[in-house]
Amino acid sequence: MRQCEVYLHGIKTGVLTENDSHEYKFTYDKAYLLNENCDAVSLTLPLRSEPYYSQHLFSVFANMLSEGDNRQIQSQLLRIDPEDDFGILLATCQFDTVGAITVKPIEL
């Protein structure tokens, strides 16, 4: 199992988890939900206390990943399987992402 904290504009919004079967769960942080001015990470993940589950990496996170030749180069340089979406997300989306979302790996 692998996990990361998800940040929106530098504020922790929740935790994204990949289990051993490559299924995904995103859960908003309870403290984040208490803030009346908090925004959803994505329109596809509206604010709620119940976790979201998916057989595929949620589109908001998958869209943060590189594609094509850039993905191949990243995979080679980082020594990560090019099919490992979660691994690439953890390695490349901690700083200076195109959008407002960043992730921070959680060491288990």
Measured between alpha carbons, how far is residue 59 from residues 4, 24, 54, 76, 93 in Å? 16, 11, 10, 24, 14
Section 3-15 average pLDDT: 95
Residue 16 has pLDDT above 80, yes or no: yes
What is the structure's pLDDT at 93?
75
Domain count, the chain: 1
For residue range 33-83, list pLDDT tens digits in order. 999 889 999 999 999 999 999 999 999 999 988 889 888 998 999 899 989
Tokens 């959680």 belong to which residue?
106
Residue 11: domain span? 2-106
Q: Give the pLDDT score at 30.
A: 96
Map tokens 């199992």 to a residue.
1
- Element housing 72 (H / E): helix 68-78
What predicted TM-score, i.e. pTM, was given to this entire model? 0.89
